Structure 1
Amino acid sequence: MPSRVDDNGNVAGDEKNETEDLLSRRMSSGSGNAAEKQPEPPLEAANDPSTDTEAFDPIREPIAKDEPKPSTGPVHVAPAHSSNPAETARTREVPASSRTAVMSEADWAAVTQAATSTETHDPEVPERRRSVLDVIGTIWITLATPFILLALAVRFVASGLFLKFEYFRPGFPADQFGFGSADREHYGTYVIDYLSNLDSRRYLADVIMPNGEPIFISEELNHMADVKALISLLYLIAVIGLIGAVLFGLYMSRRHGMGIHVGLRLSAIISIVVMAAAAVLAFLGWDTFFRGFHQIFFSDGTWEFYADDSLIRLFPPQFWVDAGIAGGGLFVLLAIILFWLSFAGHKKRRALKKSRRQA
């Protein structure tokens, strides 16, 4: 469209303004088209390593694993190429900084010692320990037991029960001077009581017959006093031996003590051997054995009496034969029981010894 100019050569105002508006519209239209034609940037993938500036590199940064918590002891590390990891294992000490703050010094020391200890913890097997008192106690029990058994055997023979059995059993010899079985039991009971009580010889001296005569003469009273002294000494030794055996037995039966089975077994064996030897001597010659026994424990002339003396009438030779058999039999029976009791717990002791050897 042609422009109009004025006399001075200037473009007319309206046309000039239209021209400027046209140019500005073209420029804005061109910029809009340019903006429409510009491509939009692609969406960034959250897990795409190619678009992440801080992407994960599997070569330089391997995958991190959960680290185990610090141990309280040494950690044994076996090389991967080793065929026997137990022999080639190494020990890595845990640094002190890994100790938790809640543990005390004493607890930490105990845990560290237990963890670093290389000793093999075997099962606890009680071991019996032998002390000087154990040896003395075994000797005491071995020597005291025969006296205890002998005291029991003598007390059984010197009892009213055995006396009554003897006087009324068939075959027991009758008194040729007039004592019947009831008379023998009556007067013999005084003798038995005298041996076990604390009275003097006056106890027997006051025993009289229906005619007023004393039943025992002076020589018989002296002999019975000697018999009572000997039996009282036996009872005293037996009581002391029993008390000592009980005390030593309690000590030896402690947790790690050697026990009393050895002492019981030895005493039983000794008792049986001694009684067997005495039985053989008595069987070979009863009179010789009887006289030899009295000659050892009594003075000569104090134990021999006439056939019509009361002690012979009440206790004839057959009574002493029966008393020896009954007393010896009871003695051996008790010794056998002790020998059997000495094996009580034998299997348990053998198992403990086997466990100690294996340990």
Structure 2
Amino acid sequence: MAGDEKNETEDLLSRRMSSGFSSPVEKQTEPPLEAANDPSTDTEAFDPIKDPITRDEPKPTTGPVHVAPAHSANPPETARAREVPANSRTSVMSEADWAAVTQAATSTEPHDPEVPERRRSVLDVIGTIWITLAAPFILLALAVRFVASGLFVKFEYFRPGFPADQFGFGSADREHYATYVIDYLSNLDSRRYLADVIMPNGEPIFISEELNHMADVKGLISLLYLIAVIGLIGAILFGLYMSRRNGMGIHIGLRLGSIISIVIMAAAAVLAFLGWETFFRGFHKVFFSDGTWEFYADDSLIRLFPPQFWVDAGIAGGGLFVLLAIILFWLSFAGHKKRRALKKARREA
């Protein structure tokens, strides 16, 4: 009997399993299949009281911003096309990008800002003329100052072949007395500075006519120095103005000034080579009065500065003048490649 009850129980259990029977507890734990597959169950229920009703508003576009070109053939249409609203920046553009687009759209500059155009003003033209005319005077003042220096005088007196004084001055005596003359030409003293120079026997080294001539020479050299200083100051001021951004620069003035200087010195060299005596006398007749610059061979100025001294001074001063002019001409080409590149870029812009 016990075996029959056991078999009956196993048969009942097998029938339940085959028929898909589940207990009430299992039914509560298993989620409904339809609810799991329904997409509407993923959202929360809508409450019309708590949740506001949202309207469908147009979303801001994320596409490219079409801006009219800055330069157009029709001026009225271009003016309207350049108007870019301040609030029309899209969400995909940064502040910097939008500022660049706005500047490009509203710009009225016809040239590329990276390639500035050189503009000439009246002051640029005046400055170029000033530098051109001032260059020869500045170079001449430097050459004269070199010749009228103790270094050049000492070189002349002690170089081989320089003519000796036939009236008794030695090289040391010449250097001693000539130093007073050189100092007088560059200081602010009157002619009395030379009048007080005396020889060992108590006699003055220079007579009255020589003092008058040296006063004239000092006045001429002082005028040259004054013109050179004024020219240099003006050239610096004009140079600072002309070297501004978009300025025309000082290279044209330097180049023209150096060329004019070389031409003038070349003409003077030709005249001196053709006839030194004629050139020397003609120079004195232009700048000094007649009868104030001719002396005897035993006068102190002739003994200290014989004709050979002035020939050597002309060669040294003229050579230095030309050398400085060549250097000035070479400096005028500084930045030439950069200027040529800018001109090419402006033509291609």
Query: Relative to 1, partners in 2 of residues 1:25 and 1:79: Cα closer, same or farther, differing over 3 Å?
Result: farther
Q: Distance in 2 between matches of 1:236 and 1:116?
A: 54
Aligned counterpart, 1:227: 217
Q: 1:70: how far off?
A: 2.8
Q: Distance in 1 between matches of 2:199 and 2:94?
A: 94
Task: Return 304-313 or 37-46, whichever deviates more.
Answer: 37-46
Post-superposition Cα deviations, 1:160-218, rounded to whole Å, max 9, x if no partner, equal: 00000000000000000000000000001110000001011001111111111111011
The answer on whether the counterparts of 1:147 and 1:237 sit within 8 Å (CA) in structure 2 is yes
Query: Relative to 1, partners in 2 of residues 1:93 and 1:152: Cα closer, same or farther, differing over 3 Å?
Result: closer
Aligned counterpart, 1:333: 323
The answer on whether the counterparts of 2:70 and 2:82 sit within 8 Å (CA) in structure 1 is no
Q: Give the gaps of 5 or more residues in structure 1.
A: 1-10
Partner secondary structure for residue 81 of structure 2: strand
Task: Return 31-40 or 61-70, whichever deviates more.
Answer: 31-40
Task: Return 19-28 or 141-150, whichever deviates more.
Answer: 19-28
CA root-mean-square deviation: 10.3
The answer on whether the counterparts of 2:128 and 2:250 sit within 8 Å (CA) in structure 1 is yes
Query: Relative to 1, partners in 2 of residues 1:358 and 1:63: Cα closer, same or farther, differing over 3 Å?
Result: farther
Query: Relative to 1, partners in 2 of residues 1:211 and 1:53: Cα closer, same or farther, differing over 3 Å?
Result: closer
The answer on whether the counterparts of 1:74 and 1:116 sit within 8 Å (CA) in structure 2 is no
TM-score (norm 2): 0.74
Q: 1:277: how far off?
A: 0.3
The answer on whether the counterparts of 1:73 and 1:115 sit within 8 Å (CA) in structure 2 is no
Q: Distance in 2 between matches of 1:124 and 1:280?
A: 50
Q: Distance in 2 between matches of 1:53 and 1:276?
A: 102
Partner secondary structure for residue 89 of structure 1: helix
Query: Relative to 1, partners in 2 of residues 1:99 and 1:26: Cα closer, same or farther, differing over 3 Å?
Result: closer
The answer on whether the counterparts of 1:79 and 1:89 sit within 8 Å (CA) in structure 2 is no
Query: Relative to 1, partners in 2 of residues 1:122 and 1:62: Cα closer, same or farther, differing over 3 Å?
Result: farther
Task: Return 150-159 or 112-121, whichever deviates more.
Answer: 112-121
The answer on whether the counterparts of 1:138 and 1:260 sit within 8 Å (CA) in structure 2 is yes
Task: Return 96-105 or 328-337, whichever deviates more.
Answer: 96-105
The answer on whether the counterparts of 1:72 and 1:115 sit within 8 Å (CA) in structure 2 is no
Q: 1:128: how far off?
A: 1.2
The answer on whether the counterparts of 2:150 and 2:179 sit within 8 Å (CA) in structure 1 is yes
Q: Which has the larger radius of gyration?
A: 1
Post-superposition Cα deviations, 1:254-302, rounded to whole Å, max 9, x if no partner, equal: 1111111000000000000000000000000000000000000000000
Q: 1:121: how far off?
A: 8.4
Task: Return 114-123 or 168-177, whichever deviates more.
Answer: 114-123
Task: Return 65-74 or 279-288, whichever deviates more.
Answer: 65-74
Q: 1:129: how far off?
A: 1.2
Q: Distance in 2 between matches of 1:102 and 1:213?
A: 100
Aligned counterpart, 1:12: 2
Q: 1:23: how far off?
A: 35
Q: 1:29: how far off?
A: 22
Post-superposition Cα deviations, 1:115-136, rounded to whole Å, max 9, x if no partner, equal: 6989998462121111111110
Query: Relative to 1, partners in 2 of residues 1:61 and 1:134: Cα closer, same or farther, differing over 3 Å?
Result: same
The answer on whether the counterparts of 2:163 and 2:308 sit within 8 Å (CA) in structure 1 is yes
The percent identity for this pair of structures is 91
TM-score (norm 1): 0.72
User: Whose relative contact order is higher, 1 or 2, with alpha carbons under 8 Å and at least 6 apart?
Assistant: 2
What is the number of residues matched between the two proteins?
A: 349
Q: Give the gaps of 5 or more residues in structure 2.
A: none
